[in-house]
Structure 1
Amino acid sequence: MILVIISIFVVLVWAKIEGGLRYNWRWHVIPNYIFRYDESQGRWMAGTLFNGLLTTIRICIYATVFAVILGTILGVARCSQTLVTRMLARTYVEVLRNVPPVVVIFIFFFFLSEQIISALNVEGWARGIARQENNGIWLFFFGDMRQFPSLVSGVMVLALFESAFIGEIIRAGIQSIPKGQTEAAQSLGMGTLDLLRFIILPQAIHKVLPPLASQFITLIKDSTIISLISVHDLTYSTVELVVSTHAIFEAWLSTAAMYFLLCFGMSLFFRRLEKRGP
């Protein structure tokens, strides 16, 4: 039934565009921006859109790893018995959850990411690797090394932003553990770190896997914002495609399809994991 409604909606929109705007569709230009044949090298190469998709995937994976690590620290801090620790963690979480994402992205980019990249000379180091001949492993994990600083910026700002939401998920998981288990472990002489490592966190992480999976999908959609700081992700690549070809509807519909397939694929994957259980 849902597919029928979506199909009817697509047909109505299509008819409106055809009849009202008299748009000249140019779908033939899109495949070359996904994959193209390079005659000089005699092989197929990834186009602008596909490279942007790969960059989005890389950024989302790396940002998720760092966001989970920082979010776990925030979640544990939110449940700390020390008031100062709890208040600092809560302040970080509340500020990021109640400030528009675009504002947060720009603040992190200009006041943190840019400073760290400049201080560590990441750009010079990355360009040195890009000039090397045997840089296949770097290309696989990070893509074009000339764009490595922008990738680092995207990972940092996304991880810092998403960690606030993951921290609240982890906090809820920790607080869902019965206090009796904590008291029993403490009565046996177990320290705080061992209590977190062997008792609380394993159970908490298992309980919050569904919301963590949902947050990962949300992170993929939130990653479109980092195109505003010139990160060459899928959204940024689409803007470049629109500027060069003026194929507005074709470019954005293709991009929407890519994001849908990526998010829907992740949704099916996590749903399968949930059914398998522990």
Structure 2
Amino acid sequence: MVGFIFIWRHLAHDFNYKWDWSVIPGYIIHIDSSGDWQPGMLTQGLLVTLRLSLWSIILGLLTGTVMGIWRVSPRPLLRMISGSYVGLVRNVPPLVLIFIFYFFLGDQIMQATGITELSYSLEDSTSPVLNTLFGPVEQIPAFLSGVLTMALFEGAYITEIVRAGIESVDREQWEASAALGFTRRNQLIHIILPQAFSCSLPPLAGQFISTIKDSSIVSVISIQELTFAGQELMSATYRTFEIWTVVILMYFILTFPCSIAVRELEKKMNNHRSQNH
């Protein structure tokens, strides 16, 4: 804390930069022409980041769960597919992955499914549900491309978390459930996965926090999330330090409560294990 105060005073007084915070409040919240309070550009970017992270976490968890099950499958083909997926995604820079998916794959998928034409034919006022779930309708193709890319990227890491969770379950659990007549699917659903997810909750929660931070990379495909909003405002106002300070605080507001929740979750799980032993 003392070091932080020293650095702040040095930046405020000795650094050759004139601080001006007067422009910041209007980019957080402002009053429109009708007299109503409206979220500013930074707040809108924060909402897009939250929306993008939630969808990416949901799809990434589904992808990672399926691929994690395939990683321990007795079928060699399924193990090869999931292993190739993990190896490819984890060894390709996420920026390259976003460009490939957005410019080559995402555009074709959006056109083939008719999402692009649908987004052009709708208006925000006539589709409030879509606007709430995915943001402005004209940005839905880019938003979905970003979500799918993030889900694939995060899903590769979740795959390994799920795999490790499944392998942490004692082999006797498999043998006992098989002796009771459970099929492999029922073994996974009723016996193995509940225990695997219980063991994997702390690393999964940590991966969810990483998803929020990693979402900033989709700003390169013009998704108007928090980092993109910060870049636009920095170019318009030249208030570099003020804008990025607020952006950092907004990311901190999103991730710090999650970090506290993860810490409390780990404490409860450790206490529960110690009581069982």
TM-score (norm 2): 0.92
2:40 is the counterpart of 1:33: no
SS at match of 1:45: strand
Identity, % of aligned positions: 41
How far does residue 276 in structure 1 lie from its aligned partner after superposition? Answer: 5.1
SS in 2 for 1:8: helix
Give the corresponding residue for 1:74.
Answer: 67
Give 1:123 deviation, angstroms.
2.6
Offset, 1:175: 0.1
Q: Give 5+ residue unaligned stretches, structure 2.
A: 273-277
Alignment match, 1:60:
53
Match in the other structure for 2:4: 6
1:50 matched to 2:48? The reply is: no
1:89-100 matches, cutoff 5 A: 89-100=82-93
Superimposed CA distance per residue, residues 226-265 of structure 1 (whole angstroms, 9 cap, x where no aligned partner): 1011111100111111111111111111101111111102
Corresponding residue for residue 219 of structure 1:
211
Distance 2:161 2:212 in 1: 18
Give per-residue Cα distances to partners, 1:77-106, cap 9 Å, x unaligned.
Answer: 110111221122111101211222211221
CA distance in 1, matches of 2:109, 2:200: 33
How does the TM-score come out when normalised to structure 1?
Answer: 0.91
Q: CA deviation at 1:24?
A: 2.1
Going from structure 1 to structure 2, the CA distance change for 1:276 and 1:139 (only over 3 Å counts) comes to: farther
Write out aligned runs for 1:200-219 (5 A).
Answer: 200-219=192-211
1 CA distance for matches of 2:114 and 2:246? 37
5+ unaligned residues in a row in structure 1: which ranges? none
Is the 8 Å Cα contact of residues 150 and 232 (structure 1) preserved in structure 2? no
Deviations 1:47-89 (A, max 9, x none): 1111000000000000100000000011101101112211221
Q: Match for residue 19 of structure 1?
A: 14
Q: Measure how far apart 1:129 and its partner are.
A: 2.8
The number of residues matched between the two structures is 270
Q: Could you say which residue in structure 2 is the equivalent of 1:148?
A: 140
Instruction: Give a deviation string over 1:151-171, Cα, whole Å, max 9, x none.
Output: 111111100111000000000
Letter in 2 for 1:9: I
